Amino acid sequence: MRAMHETSELLDFRRAFIWLLCGMLLPSVALVAFGVVAVANERAAVERRLAEDYDARLRVLQRAVLERLDQAAFAVSEGRRDPLVAFVAPLQGSPPALAEAAQRAAVLPIGGHLLVGTETQGERTAYALVRVAAPEGGERTLVAPLDLAALAAEVPKLAQQRFPRERADFRLIPPREPVAALAALRRFVAEAGNNGTIVARASLPSPLEGFALAAELPGDDPAAAVAFRNRTLYILLLVLLYVGIGVGFGLTLREISRAYKLSRLKTDFVANISHELRTPLTSVRLFAETLREGRAESPQEVRECVEMLSSEAERLSKLVEKLLDWSRLESGRRMLELRKTEVPQLLDEIAVAYRAQQLPASYQSEVEPGLPPLDVDRDAMAQVVLNLLHNAVKYTGPDKRIRLRARKAGKGVAIEVEDNGPGVRPQDRKRIFERFYRGDDLLSRSTEGTGLGLAISKKIVEAHGGRIELETKVGEGSTFRILLPVA
């Protein structure tokens, strides 16, 4: 029956554990897979992001460049000089490349202009054709070749005006084919020194066909630095995630194993309690039967029977009282009534209660003189000390030497119960203060108990702001020490 119970409990815990495993591992594996893909794609993603960012800026710059050309043409129409204009001459006998543009310019109003790009023998040039009033009366068209090297020099300035805090360099880049007239522009571009990497490029429309604007970030591989930083961050986050999962897993496992142990302790406790209840109940039934059958003949025998009955009933009620006590403490229903108490007075009360229990051993009491009074609930504290004394009697051999000592300890008072019993084994030392826990040695197994006494004592002492300690040597004895703060 019991084995069955344990197996099903174990199964429950295993099931909970498997659920936990699935619930945590599956999403984390998915997350890691996602992370790995993200890490692998990081470089491409950074490059795409950079290109998108700079494309938008290049479009702005493109408009600025075209506006700047319009300004240059406007300066020509007003007869002003402009650094972008190489020279100004009247358009005469229009060269074939400009013939069609010249016709369109001829119908422009005065002050109007046209921007034209030409390509002759692979050489690209840009012109502004400006319609102006002729000095001799009438109208004429002026032709102004544009200085593209000067324009290239202005592009960074235009960019600077629009994007003052920009890290990238913006440049005008010439068409790929080698063009003699663009040598100056090429030189300029070369001088600007391009030890960066172009992250975005936008072709320019007429009259600058073939030319492009480029955004260049410093360094050999700007995406690499960003990608490296992001990758490191991903990996760090993944490591953090796993550390978190690991810690959570560990903590959950600990809780599960605690819950499992506690549930086993409870099972043991129920078995124990049933046994504890059965022994006095059997005696009660036996003595009651003896009396009912009239097997006790002499008045002496009858009296003995009645005495046994009452002592067994007493044992039962004590057991029940202990259980109720624990449940009151657990649920927080037990209130402490703290009163200023002199230590000798407390020990006297304990001595009276101890004698009333008629235990098979006495103890020696030592009180250091001049102890300060304590602020305690006398009944509760007496219960704690009596419980320790009771354990000392229970867990010592036939030659019992038990001492109760009260002395000063630091700022408080220590009440110690010392015995010459078997001591508590190292593996049990921490656990004996846990509820329902009973030592696993032969002596504890063969002694009556619920595993609640020390747990109740610990709770009561802690409710007084004190603590309970154990000093023990296997084979030599134990000292349980209650440390209480003074009033």
CB 203 within 8 A of CB 212: yes
Residue at token pair 């054709």:
129
Q: Among 84, 143, 309, 392, which residue interacts with ligand ADP (rule: CB under 6 A)? A: 392
Cα angle, residue 360 at apex, residues 278 and 322 outer, rounded to 5°: 45
Smallest distance, ligand ADP to C-beta of residue 462, A: 15
- Give which of 197, 195, 201 is closest to 225, Cα–Cα: 197
Q: Among 238, 419, 482, 484, which residue interacts with ligand ADP (rule: CB under 6 A)? A: 419
Q: Among 451, 468, 482, 483, which residue interacts with ligand ADP (rule: CB under 6 A)? A: 451
Q: Using CB under 6 A, which of the segments 186-194, 293-301, 403-411, 444-452 binds ligand ADP? A: 444-452
Smallest distance, ligand ADP to C-beta of residue 419, A: 5
Does residue 482 touch ligand ADP according to CB under 6 A?
no
**SS3 (DSSP) at 19:** helix
Q: Among 450, 460, 468, 483, which residue interacts with ligand ADP (rule: CB under 6 A)? A: 450
CB 402 within 8 A of CB 479: no
User: What's the sign of the alpha-carbon dihedral 443, 448, 450, 456?
Assistant: negative
- Give which of 378, 263, 280, 269 is closest to 326, Cα–Cα: 269
Q: Among 168, 454, 460, 468, which residue interacts with ligand ADP (rule: CB under 6 A)? A: 454
User: Looking at beta carbons only, is 196 or 439 nearer to ligand ADP?
Assistant: 439
CB 159 within 8 A of CB 214: no
Q: Using CB under 6 A, which of the segments 149-157, 245-253, 388-396, 408-416 binds ligand ADP? A: 388-396
> How far are the Cα atoms of 151, 203, 216 from residue 158, in angstroms, in the given order?
10, 17, 15
Size of the site for ligand ADP (CB under 6 A): 19
Q: Using CB under 6 A, which of the segments 118-126, 251-259, 347-355, 453-461 binds ligand ADP? A: 453-461
Does residue 478 touch ligand ADP according to CB under 6 A?
yes
User: What's the sign of the alpha-carbon dihedral 347, 349, 355, 360?
Assistant: negative
Per the structure block, which two tokens stand in for 352? 């009276």
CB 32 within 8 A of CB 244: no
Q: Among 132, 182, 386, 432, which residue interacts with ligand ADP (rule: CB under 6 A)? A: 432
User: Looking at beta carbons only, is 207 or 422 nearer to ligand ADP?
Assistant: 422
User: Looking at beta carbons only, is 73 or 389 nearer to ligand ADP?
Assistant: 389
Smallest distance, ligand ADP to C-beta of residue 282, A: 20
> How far are the Cα atoms of 272, 277, 393, 395 from residue 448, in angstroms, in the given order?
8, 10, 12, 10
Q: Among 128, 158, 424, 484, which residue interacts with ligand ADP (rule: CB under 6 A)? A: 424
Name residues whose C-beta falls within 8 Å of residue 442's C-beta, 6 or more positions apart in sequence. none
Q: Among 421, 464, 482, 484, which residue interacts with ligand ADP (rule: CB under 6 A)? A: 421
Residue spans of beta strands (DSSP E) within 193-305: 196-203, 212-218
Name residues whose C-beta falls within 8 Å of residue 236's C-beta, 6 or more positions apart in sequence. none
User: Looking at beta carbons only, is 98 or 456 nearer to ligand ADP?
Assistant: 456
Residue spans of beta strands (DSSP E) within 318-360: 339-341
User: Looking at beta carbons only, is 146 or 456 nearer to ligand ADP?
Assistant: 456
Smallest distance, ligand ADP to C-beta of residue 271, A: 13
Smallest distance, ligand ADP to C-beta of residue 346, A: 20
Smallest distance, ligand ADP to C-beta of residue 22, A: 39
Does residue 391 touch ligand ADP according to CB under 6 A?
yes
Write the Ramachandran bin of 193: left for phi over 0, alpha for psi from -120 to 50, otherwise beta.
Answer: left
Residue 51 identity = A
Which residue lies nearest ligand ADP, judged by its C-beta? 439
Q: Using CB under 6 A, which of the segments 1-9, 123-131, 294-302, 445-453 binds ligand ADP? A: 445-453
Q: Among 117, 196, 439, 466, which residue interacts with ligand ADP (rule: CB under 6 A)? A: 439
- Burial bucket for residue 140 (CB in 10 Å: 0-12, 13-18, 19+): middle
- Give which of 313, 284, 319, 404 is closest to 354, Cα–Cα: 404
Smallest distance, ligand ADP to C-beta of residue 383, A: 12
Does residue 449 touch ligand ADP according to CB under 6 A?
yes
Does residue 479 touch ligand ADP according to CB under 6 A?
no
Name residues whose C-beta falls within 8 Å of residue 50's C-beta, 6 or more positions apart in sequence. 199, 200, 217, 222, 223, 226
Does residue 319 touch ligand ADP according to CB under 6 A?
no
Smallest distance, ligand ADP to C-beta of residue 482, A: 13
Does residue 438 touch ligand ADP according to CB under 6 A?
yes
Q: Using CB under 6 A, which of the segments 241-249, 299-307, 351-359, 421-429 binds ligand ADP? A: 421-429
Q: Using CB under 6 A, which of the segments 258-266, 289-297, 370-378, 451-459 binds ligand ADP? A: 451-459
Give the integer Cα–Cα distance in Å for 4 and 222.
67
Residues of this chain that interact with ligand ADP (CB under 6 A) are 391-392, 395, 419, 421-422, 424, 432, 438-439, 444, 449-455, 478
